[in-house]
Structure 1
């Protein structure tokens, strides 16, 4: 990808104005912000900017809104939505937002679990990368440049239509934008073989607080370290990632083995905890827990443990591996399906194998609802009694549509040092849990009731999860674990309440980088990295 942007002369003039601008020169922040955008950009932004008076404003705002909990009328809305096509549009937005006292929210796919990519309690602008999603795949050099507005599905499609033996390590949800997923870590079915998405990033483009366009060489290794797992929106506006492509065999095997409580699920889940992180690195054997209608006790619910995963190879090699390490599961050939890697991404996303690859290009989720999510890192197996207590909670009325996605670590994840990138959950981690509670009903009363129940579940799990601190995954954003001040700066000590849970010992280095690249703390939000000042 070529470097692009406004002239260095323009940047110098505008940035200097930050220290001499008199806000009273304008009566209307909104209008003056727009005028700044239009006056100081070499390419017209008029067709790429949406205000509340624009007929398309609501549709643009709603299109990438993945959590209906943030769609209520009283949810704060942006003054302006900018949908850039080139770096200069982002540079102008960053500079003009500073000049006119507006904060920025950055949205690629809109999957931020707390809506922070499109909601703010102070006047704000959204940079929505919905149109900024070019992908360039270089099969010969095993790498790809991907702009941050591209979805994981679009990236998979671009790779899978060019090669059957190269892949990218990323997540199962194909509508997630790579901008947020990669900057927080990003994991999926190749994690135990190749690590996180962020472990495989080899270059990036970012607009910093001064409006400068920087690649890896220009930004320096400290900033490049921080944006690969530390949440890029704290440091600037990431435009594109360069990611390594990794080899995969032409045939992989997808496995799905559902087991209910009546089929000994409790003992199977208990045993799985000690097995999954030690399996062959070519195999990811995950778990999905939810309640289903019992096929044995009619009219009653039961807990189903769906053992599912991907093996980089054929079924004839997979079955002996599982039989040796986890014979209790009773995995059979009929539980397995051979296919190509790109076909497996369709199954993992829930699209099914009979769909054409073009389904990966769909940017909107089939079903959108309200939800609250949390996460935990597990370092010791949960005893059977603890699992049985969890089942009882899952039978409660408020637990309807609760899903626990449990993903094993180990393999390559245990080999990478905790400090290699900001994502710290490495050696000693058995697996990660995502708790996700969904509901269709509207209204804040319903939402609060469901959220309160999730907090009850989270409290129950406390004795069984990581401690000092209780760890969490930044891409499963959870404001319950701590927030910054809405107005003004937040001290490092205050932010450490949530920061160490996400980043452990890497949090202080993140704050050091923040202080270095954004000393006035312009890029800030409820869980942005603080400065040390």
Structure 2
């Protein structure tokens, strides 16, 4: 046994010494980075918004906006330093010092990225948390607003309603999502068929580039302005604020939520929804959800809607175009548009019209979450829907919720090359959410979500199988680890799924504005000019 011990000991010792050497190097880098910050931010009190892993507030800052419980990385995966700037000059200082000391920078605006790419990494990094950039200035007369990247959709909707009951913004239904990332990926919701995506209504932006310049639309140029609307701003710089158009809505909108079981012909009704939801008047968006019930071999199809008008106009329309749903007046509620945003978020308290819910960032239940998504061009046959149900009936399937939003209307009138978001000619967008709480078996739920995704392969878009950038899914492909070079060809495996042929224009913009690939993550747009270690086969 003695020779074995003698032989094994050196390798073990090397590993231990390497580990502590890595810690020492990281500590040394951190110290130099922090010293650099203090030099370049003497007048902005950046030390008050800088948190290292030894700081008592570090964990609470890290977790405050971490929306997905699935990502609780080990210590090495967390940011070396978190900075919560309140001034653009502080962002500039972080970028300057991070480049000087070879630290990656990641930016978090709301923490809803499904893969946690803004707050974990395989290599040492600094996280800029944009929570203090949450100012919202609404100009009701000009029908526009400047919105800080860290402001939430709920805060924006609330601020708009304070100025006007007849103005709105066409974005998502979750009020805790921040506008920085949401609009940079597209942003859709219940009035998108009338007004398009949130990104379609962006008319200006402020962005700090790799050289520390604060750019607006004029100074960044139309190519970069095109890229950050739908192409993910984090690949190109630090998004500080958006200027957006506000859109007109009537004083009264109508909402409804109708549920159907298999015994009530849920399959046939869902199939009819697929045929007509795309072609309904622009003022009406009806989403369709599917979920099994825990402990029961039962399935519920949920149809939820917003109609920009009163119930007296909605009912005849539904009777003519979608009588199978059996909508009656008692199913409907009339309210203001901003109240409808509360209605669709507060699922358990739909009778509530408490607008204060839009301002709450923290008092709601968080889950372990994995999401995948598809685009669909042709109706899915009834027998295929019922095959989906079989997967949802499996143990753990009650944790999976499938929700679809129809396209058409204004979405389909805008060219796919107008902004970086390209998925405009599809009939509907389908998302598979796996969500579970503590104590439940994650592996089984994740396996079922992947099984459902695989099952749907023949019935969704192909070459590529398209998916939505804001519904990030690392399983469709990723860049190489750490500083290793990722070619455009390698990145196109996932890039074309998110952006179709717009991916190559995004690469051109990236190469022009960030040739050294400083702004990078596991699914960032690559530069044609590599940074870091070039792989041998290149």
Q: Note whether the superposition's TM-score is higher than 0.5.
A: yes
Counterpart in the other structure of 2:465: 470
Deviation of residue 442 (structure 1)? 5.4
By how many angstroms is 1:450 displaced?
2.7
Note the residue ranges of structure 2 that are not aligned, 5 or more in a row.
Answer: 1-23, 530-538
- Residue 373 of structure 1: CA displacement? 0.6
Distance 1:317 1:378 in 2: 29
Aligned runs of 1:275-290 on 2, under 5 Å?
275-290=276-291
Contact 1:26-1:32 at 8 Å conserved across structures:
no
* Aligned with 2:405 (options 399, 407, 423): 407
CA drift of 1:336 comes to 0.6
8 Å CA contact 2:291, 2:301 repeated in 1: yes
CA distance in 2, matches of 1:244, 1:215: 16
Q: Which residue of 1 aligns with 2:31?
A: 31
Give distance in 2, aligned partners of 1:39 and 1:451: 47
Report how many residues are paired.
502
Answer yes or no: is 1:383 the counterpart of 2:384: no
- The answer on 1:501 being equivalent to 2:502 is no
SS of 2:461's equivalent in the other structure is coil
Equivalent in the alignment of 1:437: 434
2: CA distance between counterparts of 1:352 and 1:321? Answer: 24
TM-score (normalised: structure 1): 0.92
After superposition, what is the alpha-carbon deviation per residue over 1:218-269, rounded to whole angstroms, capped at 9, x for unaligned?
1000000000000000000000000000000000000111111110000000
Describe the SS at the equivalent of 2:70. Answer: helix
The 8 Å contact of residues 170 and 188 in structure 2, kept in 1 or not, is answered as yes
Question: How far apart are the structure 2 equivalents of 1:447 and 1:97?
Answer: 36
Separation (CA, whole Å) in 2 of partners of 1:382 and 1:27: 55
Query: Which string of whole-angstrom CA distances, capped at 9 and with x for unpartnered residues, describes residues 306-328 of structure 1?
Result: 11110000000011111111111
Pick aligned residue for 2:396 from 392, 395, 398:
398
**Is the 8 Å Cα contact of residues 342 and 355 (structure 2) preserved in structure 1?**
yes
Large movers: runs of 4+ above 3 Å: 24-27, 72-75, 446-449
Task: Please name the residue that 2:271 is paired with.
Answer: 270
Distance 1:358 1:409 in 2: 30
Alignment RMSD, CA only? 1.6
Partner of 2:14: none
- Contact 2:53–2:80 under 8 Å retained in 1: yes
CA deviation map 1:393-417 (0-9, x unaligned): 1100131221111100000011000
Partner of 1:461: 456
Normalising by structure 2, we get a TM-score of 0.91
Aligned partners of 1:50 and 1:154: how far apart in 2? 26
Look up the SS of the partner of 1:68 in the other structure.
coil
Map of 2:6 onto structure 1: none
Q: Where do residues 233-312 of structure 1 align in structure 2 (5 Å cutoff)?
A: 233-292=234-293, 300-312=296-308
Q: How many angstroms apart in 2 are the aligned matches of 1:353 and 1:456? A: 36
Structure 1 unpaired stretches of 5+: 1-23, 294-298
The structural deviation recorded for 1:364 is 2.1
Is 1:349 matched up with 2:345? yes
What CA distance in whole angstroms lies between the structure 2 residues aligned with 1:29 and 1:531? 26
String of CA shifts for 1:416-457, please: whole Å, max 9, x gaps: 000001111112x110011001111359xx434432222111
Alignment of 1:139-178 (within 5 A): 139-178=140-179
Return the alpha-carbon distance in structure 2 between the equivalents of residues 355 and 48 of structure 1: 36
Q: How does 1:91-102 map to 2 (within 5 A)?
A: 91-102=92-103
